[in-house]
Chain A
Amino acid sequence: MTQTGFSRAAEAVIAPDVEQAGAPQQPGQGRLISWRQRRRENSMLDSDRSIISTAERRQPRVRRTLRGVHVFLFVSLVVVGLGPLLWLAKSAVTPTQDTLQHPFALWPNGIDWANLSQAWNDVEIDKYFLNTVIIAAGAWVFQLLVATTGAYTLSILRPRYAGLINALVLATLFIPAVVLLVPLYLTVVSPPLLGRDYSMLNNYLAVWLPMAANAFNILLVKRFFDNLPRDVIEAARTDGAGPFRLFWSVVLPMSKPILGVVSVFAIIAAWKDFLWPMLVLPDPARQPLSVRLPAVQSQTELDVFLAALAIATVIPVVMFLLFQRVFLRSAGLGGAVKG
């Protein structure tokens, strides 16, 4: 619940049209896709045009400006996007004094590879790393479980109370996360129905379950289910598939695109979360990297600390480089929100 606002913003923009863009049976319906298709059809006439026309591109003044734009984009994006990461990578294997005295010098006193092993072993990054993975994996499982079964109920099974649940789920979208902070914390400290002495503090369920109460996921998956071809579902029903078979063998296999999007969001959100795990996991041995890194900063030498930061960055960056298209496409679907 306490993921950063900006990522929430990005997700919220993506929401309304994912179902169109990803709907398997009617690819032409999503606006994003329909324009791309139309553009492809038009490509014989005017290849992939944008603001500047082909004729304008031939003018020397425009060509010179565009070349300037190229240089500007390349330099600024490398400096701003890659620069800090490169600096972190360099400093992770640089002795503290060199980083402090000459932050931009390239290893005047040699490379200090020991930083990395020190961070991994002495700062116990390995342990917190594992905790982070556990938190992300659990959050992923619970978010998928609640989102798929919930959306299946609301979209396909449709019991009589579906409308009420749907309205209640949607209503929570309008309520800012900040309202939940204190009462949710007290819920974890003393969960209802379990008696006074029972507490969920230091239990990973206290992170996983609140993350699963994510109205945005339900909305996303429900809209996708709404667009699944009804005749396939009816055919499966006629063939004698009960609700469980229908769910497991028909609906879920057809929903891989949206499950991928929800998975990416779930794992990233869990990986990024800071305030909530800090509150409900007071035991350092159970905390994830995001909570431990600020805590160990004061007792760690700068070079080892920077090595720890570098290690914490590697996995998300590698994941991004591997699944770049998935990341950028799900982030970019937001553009289809308003045409």
Chain B
Amino acid sequence: MATQPDVDAPRQVPVRERRASNPVTWVRSGGLTKLLFALPLIFVFTIFSWLPIARSVIMSFQKTNLITSQWVGLDNFVAVLRDPLLGTAIANTGYFALLALVMGFPIPIIMAVLMSEVRRGKGLYSALAYLPVVIPPVVAVLLWKVFYDASPQGVFNTLLGYVGIPPQPFLQSQTQAMPALVIEATWAAAGGSIIIYLAALLIVPPELYDAAEVDGAGIWRKIWHVTLPQMRGVIFVMLILQVLATAQVFLEPYLFTGGGPVHATTTILLLIYNYAFKNSLGGNYGMATALSVMLAIFLALLSWVYFRLTNRWSTS
């Protein structure tokens, strides 16, 4: 076994830094064992991460089917940019992200602050809030699809009927489909954010509240001037991560509406999927990778900015 040479490794401690000049000393100093441990990582990442990433850049300049590929320069990018659906997809994705921000972003913060102030039942509330996160996303979407039934006897329409609102078409309406998707997505994700904010609230130093009270601050001013500023790091991280996630939204539009009605919920990822996999005779992989590379560059820039900003904040 390759372990053998390393048994005397402790005695070699002072010389361990010595450069292995030939294969024999390399093996004797445990090089082979180290490589053996590194191998699973190297193998899996090379085949399933590093090579595919490189390949996606290459493929975006190629016309590819499964047998051959040929270089086509910027043709894929031009074709994507000329696709009339691209504008729709970008607008829809932006709309989804915006709605998710407006509806979904403040709610978990408010809920977490409220939950942190009640003395009893915190455990029960956390568990209840987290339940939707536990439900498999596909099940959640399919269940909500039943809820959104457009008939007057549909689940949500029955509820609306109780308060005198006429039946709504929900997913079948071009204007209501996207908000309907966002409401479900918010419901499915809010619990996770609430738990994270609850933990963040625990780290706010109690002394700051004492100090604020000495200065005569009431409850609202303590929230505004102590709690929220103390949480700004977490809030900002959650914000940028939500933007990254919503920019790649796929499951909801795919399962709820398939992008309809009349492309009202076609997102960028759905467009990529359609380029590559919708045609059973073989997809347009070039266009699909060209669009994903463009989206990735945009998102990578975004996360770079986020790392720069959070680094500055955490050191200050």
- A-side interface residues toward B, CB under 8 Å? 2, 4-10, 12-14, 31-32, 35-36, 39, 42, 46, 49-53, 56, 62, 66, 69-70, 72-74, 77-78, 80-82, 84-85, 87-88, 100-104, 142, 145-146, 149-150, 152-153, 157, 159, 161-162, 165, 168-169, 172, 174-187, 189-192, 209-210, 212-213, 215, 218, 237-238, 240, 242-244, 247, 271-272, 274-275, 279, 289-291, 293-294, 297, 302, 305-306, 309, 312-313, 316-317, 319-321, 324, 327-328, 331-339
- Residue among A35, A152, A180, A238 with max Cβ neighbours from chain B (10 Å): A180
CA distance A31 to B238 in the complex (A): 19
Given that A150-B41, A182-B289, A338-B233 are contacting pairs, would A320 and B238 also be in contact in the complex, using a CB cutoff of 8 Å? no
Given that A168-B50, A336-B199, A339-B203 are contacting pairs, would A66 and B269 also be in contact in the complex, using a CB cutoff of 8 Å? no
Given that A84-B132, A272-B137, A290-B138 are contacting pairs, would A183 and B244 also be in contact in the complex, using a CB cutoff of 8 Å? no
Q: List 8 A-B contacts (CB under 8 A).
A: A146-B44, A149-B40, A238-B10, A275-B250, A294-B142, A331-B195, A332-B199, A334-B200
Which residues of A sit under 8 angstroms from B154, Cβ to Cβ? 103
Partner of A172 from B45, B213, B250 at Cβ < 8 Å: B45
CA distance A39 to B45 in the complex (A): 43
**Does B196 sit at the interface, judged by CB under 8 A?**
yes
Contact with A along B238-251 (1 / 0, CB 8 A): 10011011111111
- Cβ contact within 8 Å between A183 and B41: no
- Cβ contact within 8 Å between A149 and B47: no
Interface size on B, residues (CB 8 A): 126
- Residue among A6, A8, A331 with max Cβ neighbours from chain B (10 Å): A6
CA distance A76 to B49 in the complex (A): 43
Q: Smallest CB–CB gap between A295 and chain B, Å? A: 11
Q: Smallest CB–CB gap between A306 and chain B, Å? A: 7
- B-side interface residues toward A, CB under 8 Å? 3, 6-7, 9-10, 30-31, 33-35, 37-42, 44-45, 47-53, 55-56, 59, 64, 66, 111, 113-118, 121, 125-139, 142-144, 146-147, 151, 153-155, 158, 185, 187-189, 191-193, 195-203, 205-206, 209-210, 213, 219, 222-223, 226-227, 230, 233-234, 237-238, 241-242, 244-251, 254-255, 269, 272-273, 276-277, 283, 285, 288-289, 292-293, 295-296, 299-300, 303-304, 310, 313-314
Q: Smallest CB–CB gap between B248 and chain A, Å? A: 5
